[in-house]
Every structure is written in C-alpha cells, then in structure tokens.
Structure 1
Amino acid sequence: MSIAAIISLCLTAGLFIISSLFKIAGKLRLGIPLIYLLIAVVSTFFTRWTTEHEQLVLMGLYIVIGLTALSWIISLIKTIRRRRDEKYLEDDVAWQIQRAREMGIPLDKIQFNGQGDLLDPRTGEPVVYGQATSFKDI
C-alpha cells in the first residue's frame, strides 16, 4: 500500500470520527463544550499561554459544561410540564365524554371548540359547561 493511500485512509477515518462526535454532541447539546475542548487541546500544542493558564482554561470549560447542564434541566422541566398538561387535557376530555354519556347526548360526531369544551352535535353548544352544570365557588 502506498503512503498516499494510508494518509487518505487516516484522514477519512479521522473526519468520520470527528463528524460522529459532533452529531452525538449536537443531540446531547454538547456542541459548544466540544468545540471549546477541541480549541483548548489544539491550542495546548501551539502556545505556552494555555499551559501556563491551565486553571483558567479548565474554569471556562466547567462554565460551559455547567451551562449545558442547566439547559438540560430546563428542558427536563419543560418536558415534565408538557406531559402533565397533556395528561390533564386527556383526563378532562375523558371526563367530558363520560358526562355527555350520562346526559344522553349522542357521541357519534364528537367535536371540541377552541377552549376544549365538548360540543353537542345537535345544538353546537358546550355540553358540560352549559347551563345545566353547576359549579362550586373556588
């Protein structure tokens, strides 16, 4: 095998590995810390400043990773809230359908309005939140 083929194979494998790292880092929101780490590693080989100020470089890396972890926590909180809201909506819809069955309303053409109220297919009026429903004061 010629030296050019070996160099080409090594470059291709290296670029594939770097590409895979960035894809994984993008999915995990670690793109910026990965870029920071690559810059810090590359600059270590070329300048004395990085080796002399290693604590500062590591502090910057820790800050970037901390911000990434903070974004994970925020995303987790948003996901929990979204799932809780979806569960609430599902429970509300099931309750409205049960209530409509109890009231003898045909459920062959169920429709909901923008506020999430079940509409009576005969009149187009909200079923559960209409005049026949009494509410307790909150």
Structure 2
Amino acid sequence: MKEGMALTSKAIYYFSLTGNTKAMLSTIEDLEQWDIYDLNTMRPEEVTFKGYDTVLIGTLTIGRGNPPSYFKRMVHALRSMQGVRIGLFGSGQTHYGDDYCGALDVLEDFLQPRNEIAFKMKYESYPVPSVMEEFKQLVKEMQYEDIKV
C-alpha cells in the first residue's frame, strides 16, 4: 500500500483509533491506485487535498456527533477543496441517536457547498461483511459517475 505518493487523482484520508475506520480500506479492489494518508501519522498542517478529483475521507465520531479535534486543526485544507467528488465513511455508535456518526454530517455540511458528496456511509463499530460489501460498491460506483459540482 503506497502512502502519500500523489501519483493518481484519487486519495483516501482516514483517521482511525481502533481500526474500525481503517478496516474499510481492505474492501477497495484497486487500492494500489489510490494515494493513502493515515491522518494518525501526519500533523494537520501537512495535510493537503490538492491534485485530487476523487477523495475518500474516513473518520470515527467522538461522543455526541463530533469529529476528532484533528479535523478542526486541518480546516484550512478542508476549506481549500473545490470541485472534488468525495465519499465519506465512518464508524459510530447508534445509541447516540440523531448524533450517530455525526462527524460525517459535520464534514458533509462543511464540504458540500463546493464539492460533490458522492456518498456518506455510517456504520456501527467494526464493519460487518455486509457493510464492507456495500462500501466496496459505493466506492466502485463513485469512480464511474460524472462529477456534478
């Protein structure tokens, strides 16, 4: 798996503390064609989305619908995204009700005015096989649709 090589127009940025979010990467059939950024190993000021037209962003949700504080520190990079097709995915806990996987809702609201959100996939804790299969299909479909931004 190449990490951060910027050789393609597709990138995956993920923040995973327990492996629930990272696990979804194993479902992507052409993973070697994506640049992969493990946000846990990068300083927020190092993150850039430049040069990509398709981006997957994965994160967990903290408590009642909050993205990890890491995302607040990289808001400049997120704000720079424009005309990008984005897939959002992440784990959460359904007992939070309306705040379940709220980090994805926050990211969608922030990114949608300037970008196309191709999908937003929420799942409980570690992804079960049916969730992984659904994610695999969503990623495949988003790569072959025309951008609607």
Question: Under a length normalisation based on structure 1, what TM-score does the superposition of the two structures give?
Answer: 0.26
Please tell me whether Structure 1 or Structure 2 has the larger radius of gyration of its CA atoms.
1
More helix by share: 1
The higher relative CO (CA closer than 8 Å, separation ≥ 6) is in 2
